[in-house]
Amino acid sequence: MFTLIFLFLLLNIPLLLASFTYSRCFWKMKKTEDKDENLVSSCIFFIRTVQWPVEKEYFNNILNIQTSNDNYKFALSLAFTVDEVNRNSDLLPNKSLEFGLSDINCKDVIQLYISNMLFEHDHSVIPNYVCSEDIECVVMLTGPNWATSAVLGTIMNIYKSQQILQLTYGPFHPILSDNEKFPHLYQMAPQDTSLVLAMVSIILHFRWNWVGLAISDDDQGTQFLSHLRREMEKNAVCFAFVNTIPANMKLYMPRAELYYNQIMTSSTNVVIIYGDTDSTLAVSFRMWESLGIQRIWVTTSQWDVTTSKRDFTLDSSLGKLAFAHHHGEISGFKNFVQTLNPLKYTDEYLASLEWMNFNCEGSAPNCKTLRNFSSNTSVDCLVVETFDMAFIDSCYDVYNAVYAFAHAMNEILHQQRDSQPMDNGKGHGSSCLKVLHSFLRKTHFTNPIGDRVNMNQKEELQAEYDIFQIWNFPQGLGLKVKIGEFNPYFQQGQQLHLYEDIIEWATGSRQMLPSVCSADCGPGFRKSWQEGMAVCCFQCSPCPENEISNETNVDQCMKCPEDQYANTEQNQCIHKAVIFLTYQDTLGMALALIALCFSAFTALVLVVFVKHHDTPIVKANNQKLSYILLISLIFCFLCPLLFIGHPNSATCILQHITFGVVFTVAVSTVLAKTVTVLLAFKVTAPGRKMRSFLVSMAPNYIIVICTLIQFIVCAVWLRASPPFVDIDTHSEHGHIIIVCRKGSVTAFYCVLGYLACLALGSFIVAFLSKSLPDTFNEAKLLTFSMLVFCCVWITFLPVYHSTKGKVMVAVEIFSILASSAGILGCVFIPKCYIILLRPDRNSLQKIRKKLSSKTDIS
């Protein structure tokens, strides 16, 4: 027994904890039977001032009416408000308010037409018409359906002498705001002037861009569609479908299945419902819910109905998002109702009126305890707790209507005391109507919960909204959680405020179920549209080369700056690596070592020639020209060092100027040696005039003249467009190459062309001299050297233009080293071989002996 009691207390701990917290969540129950006729029924109330005090027993008696629970709540809220006004000593001193229901009670629009006998047969109940001394000003409350108010307003307008003031509760409707048709009608509900903004704001917050819409086929629905379409187009939100539900049932029935299939086949998860709850749209909505269409329904507060025939789990991510006009909380309502009849107005009965307020903490940790309850948890364990009551929008309109009438009558009484009018507010209805109407339209006040109420219908105020998320549960239980607010008076971007912790508790995540036409295009992709597709429906295409997108759903990719490149995922720009041929590179190091080795080897050859300058082989080949050629070759081998390292303006100029000059010296020296050989064998006979040129060292001037011409070409190059440092960002992906541009390409090729002409001239002269006696004759060697030189530079041109970056520089260096090595190897290696390894062949005796032997043979 003790164990059972302990378990029972343990199960009630979550509810006991939650009962001490601030109100944010609502549990509500409905009857197990749905009655469609309740959707189109309305209640009509009359309020008047009386001289005698009104006791609570009066309310208990008048509330014993036969009507549905859906409409009974309006009578209870009216009774509570009238009692609150009567207990307020500052309002209507020495008077009281009382209310009553017409004999038609709560009926639908058709029954109201049938009940027209109210005006045609029983004039005794016409307010403000009977001229008896104990009848005072009376107002009529109609609603919640606008059609009821319109019918009664039209009837009142027909009977001109029987007009009364009419206050409506329920949603605002533009038809009732026509002052010509309804001159004495006041709508207590504010206009939904900012409803479209509120809905679009929450759609954007949850990143929805693909929503459906179901509206009534009337002026109100068309106007809502126009405003909604305009705001959605501004924010790139699209309609998956638009169902315009006709009001005529005969037109609706053949299309009902079409509307159903359109929702079922659509890929959207969000559907907006807007229209009257007493229309065919309401029939469709109840059918869609009963058939289990799993969608997030975005509605207004009048659509806050549960469907008890369906069972949903607490973990379901679907439900309804309802927008209700923001107002404060009214306390003491439950205590008032239960004091009327504690046996009748039990917690279970009040819960069936959808008013039971289950307390949850604003930060929602205690709300999480509700998740411990299974879907089969008994409803009885909920309603036995201490609950408060929460007004819905229509009941809040009744609340404000009573206070508006009370404040207007209070002003009339104050004026009566000051001016002492003749009839003291009694008598003819036209007088009472005129006075009350004039005061009521100027009435503005702050109600007891702190909300401002202005009865001037010409002033259009922006409505504020509370946003609720609603689920249906077994046994008619519904969970209604306030998840945010919308205030149009805040600046854009701050108008919507959502309670992220409540959303996370309710859905398990701070994000709602997605509703998009196309999956998001992630980083590295961009949206691309096809003709005929909606703006929200697109395909994802990879970004073009060297372009990125680092956000989702971008229209255009962003091009990377010149000094950056796109990574392989194309979602980030990476700084390019700056490269040039350095001494740290393997290639640069190898070329530098080769250049130094060849220059050192050339210097060694020069030393050998200087040391053996008295030998015949050195003397026979014009030792001064050999020295000049060897020195120029040393500089040719050292020239590539200018190409290695970080380029700058000085090195860029020196690279090509030094290359052009030293190679001109080398090639012109070869030409001079070739001319010397030719002159030595062709024109050295005694008595010939050309002999004087050979004796006077005239061939040596070839070097000076040819070098001077190259100097002039280089000077013109430097004057016109000298070489400069440039950055190459396109040749190699991911790299910035620092290169030396030639400046004037024409001047560069003039330098190369001039060298080619010298080399070709040397080759031709040497080739013509190859048949001369070969003793110490270097004509053949010079021919081969120029042949190698020309082959290297002819091969250089196509290879140079087919490479990029530092490889291009390496090709140029290799060509310099190869051509220089060709001259060195062809001209000097054979001579060094004889000098160092075959000294016996480097003597006059050996030469004379060889010549004599050749003569004997001949």
Is residue 812 scored above 80 in pLDDT? yes
Continuous segment of H or E residues that includes residue 246? none
Q: Please, which residues have CB within 8 angstroms of residue 420's CB and are 6 or more apart in sequence?
A: none
Q: For position 403, what pLDDT does the model report?
A: 93
Do 547 and 643 lie in one domain? The reply is no
Highest mean pLDDT among 308-322, 485-499, 697-711: 485-499
Most confidently predicted of 81-90, 162-171, 496-505, 830-839: 81-90
pLDDT confidence bin for 149, thresholds 50/70/90: confident
- Looking at the DSSP bridge assignments, the partners of residue 732 are none
CA distance 382 to 405: 38
139: pLDDT confidence band, cut at 50, 70 and 90?
A: confident
Look at residue 596 and tell me if it is in a domain.
Answer: yes
**Structural domain includes residue 604:** yes
Whether 74 shows a pLDDT value over 70: the answer reads yes
> Which string of DSSP letters, residue by residue, matches 92-157?
STT-EEEEEEEEEEEEEHHHHHHTTHHHHT-GGG-TTTS--TT---EEEEEESSHHHHHHHHHHHH
Instruction: Retrieve residue 764's tokens.
Output: 């031709």
Task: Say if residue 546 is in the same domain as residue 603.
Answer: no
Q: What is the mean pLDDT of residues 99-107?
A: 61
User: Which are the contacts of 588, defined by CB distance < 8 A and separation ≥ 6?
Assistant: 581, 582, 644, 806, 810
Give dist(CA 818, CA 808) in Å, integer. Answer: 15
Give the domain CATH number at 736: 1.20.1070.10
Q: How many domains does the chain have?
A: 3
Confidence check: pLDDT of 127 > 90 = no
Give the residues across from 738 on adjacent strands: 727
Say if CB 46 and CB 140 are below 8 A apart: yes
Q: Is the pLDDT of residue 815 over 50?
A: yes
Would you call the peptide bond into 144 cis, given omega within 30 degrees of 0 as the criterion? yes
**What is the model's pLDDT at position 134?**
43
Residue 239 has pLDDT above 90, yes or no: yes
Q: Is 721 helix (H, G, I), strand (E, B) or coil?
A: coil
pLDDT digits (tens, 9 = 90+) for 176-227: 888 888 888 899 888 888 999 999 999 999 989 899 999 999 888 999 999 9
Scanning the structure block, which residue is given the tokens 């006040």? 445
The string of pLDDT tens digits covering residues 223-236 is 999 999 999 999 98
Supply angle C-alpha 333, 338, 341, rounded to 5.
140
Using alpha carbons, select from 762, 793, 791, 760 the residue that is nearest to residue 779.
762
**Percent of the chain residues topping a pLDDT of 90:** 17
Q: What is the pLDDT of residues 578-611, one digit of tens each?
A: 888 888 888 889 999 999 999 999 999 999 988 8
Provide the 3-class DSSP secondary structure of residue 356: strand
Kindly give, in sequence order, each residue whose CB lies less than 8 Å from that of residue 708, ignoring residues fewer than 6 positions away.
Answer: none
Is 428 a residue whose pLDDT tops 50? no
pLDDT over threshold 50, residue 10 = no
Shared-domain flag, residues 199 and 253 = yes
In whole angstroms, give the CA distance from residue 844 to residue 656. 45
Domain contains 155: no
Mean pLDDT across the stretch 418-435? Answer: 58
Measured over all CA atoms, what is the biggest interatomic distance in the chain, rounded to whole angstroms? 173
**Least confident residue range of 233-242, 376-385, 403-412:** 376-385
Length of the chain: 858
Q: HEC string of 404-454?
A: HHHHHHHHHHHHHHHHCCCCCCCCCHHHHHHHHHHHHCCCEEECCCCCEEE
Residues 6+ apart with CB under 8 A from 551: 523
Instruction: Classify residue 478: in a domain, yes or no.
Output: yes
Q: What is the DSSP track for 457-485?
A: TTS-PPPPEEEEEEEE-GGGEEEEEEEEE
User: Are residues 81 and 398 in contact, defined by beta-carbon separation less than 8 angstroms?
Assistant: yes
Are residues 561 and 630 part of one domain?
no
pLDDT at 686: 53
- Closest among 97, 83, 45, 81 to 413, alpha carbons compared: 97
3 state DSSP class of 575:
strand
Identify whether the C-beta of residue 470 lies closer than 8 Å to the C-beta of residue 294.
no
Cα 812 from Cα 742, distance rounded (Å): 13
Other C-beta atoms closer than 10 Å to the C-beta of 610 total: 13
Distances (CA, A) of 1 to 378, 442, 614, 626: 21, 67, 133, 124
* Residue finishing a domain among 481, 507, 533: 507
> 745 CB contacts (<8 Å, ≥6 apart)?
none
Count of CB atoms within 10 A of residue 68's CB? 14
* 801/357: higher pLDDT: 801
Using CB atoms within 10 Å of the CB of residue 87, give its burial: 0 to 12 exposed, 13 to 18 middle, 19+ buried: exposed
Per-residue pLDDT reduced to its tens digit, 457-511? 666 678 889 998 877 655 555 667 788 999 998 988 889 998 887 776 656 666 7
Give percent of the chain above pLDDT 70: 73
Last residue of some domain: 517, 548, 575?
575
How is residue 191 annotated by DSSP?
A: P
User: Which range has the worst mean pLDDT, 424-433, 593-602, 742-751, 783-792?
Assistant: 424-433
- 799 and 676 in one domain? yes
Same domain, 654 and 546: no
The contacts of residue 265 (CB under 8 Å, 6+ apart) are: none
Residue 637 shares a structural domain with residue 535: no
Name the band, by pLDDT with cuts 50, 70 and 90, for residue 456: confident
Q: Which range marks the domain in which residue 548 is found?
A: 525-575
In a domain, 95, yes or no: no
pLDDT at 65 over 70: no
| pLDDT given for residue 682 in this prediction | 60
- What band does 382 get if pLDDT is binned at 50, 70 and 90? very low
pLDDT in tens, 163-177: 678 899 988 888 888
Whole-Å CA distances, 182 to 107, 164, 178, 461, 816: 21, 11, 6, 21, 103
The pair of structure tokens assigned to 61 is 């008696």
Domain presence at residue 164: no
Residue 80, domain member (yes or no) = no
| Closest of 302, 394, 390 to residue 75, by C-alpha | 394
Residue 304: left (phi > 0), alpha (psi -120 to 50), or beta?
beta
Write down the pLDDT at residue 31.
40
Quote the CA–CA distance of 858 and 845 in Å, as a whole number.
20
pLDDT band at 430 (very low <50, low <70, confident <90, very high): low
pLDDT of amino acid 381: 45
Q: Could you tell me if 352 and 487 lie in one domain?
A: yes
User: Which pLDDT value is given to residue 359?
Assistant: 47
Confidence of residue 119 (pLDDT cuts 50, 70, 90): very low
pLDDT of residue 680: 65
Q: Are residues 723 and 634 in the same domain?
A: yes
pLDDT at residue number 503 = 74
pLDDT of 804 > 60? The answer is: yes
Residues 209 and 254 in one domain: yes
Top mean pLDDT of 60-64, 194-198, 293-297, 732-736 is at: 194-198
C-beta atoms surrounding 9 within 10 Å:
10
In this structure, the strands spanning 296-300 and 270-274 are parallel
Per-residue pLDDT band at 450 (split at 50, 70, 90) = confident
> Is residue 597 in some structural domain?
yes
Residues 497 and 625 in one domain: no
Q: Which pTM value belongs to this model?
A: 0.65
Residue 550 and residue 645 in one domain:
no
Mean per-residue pLDDT of the chain: 77
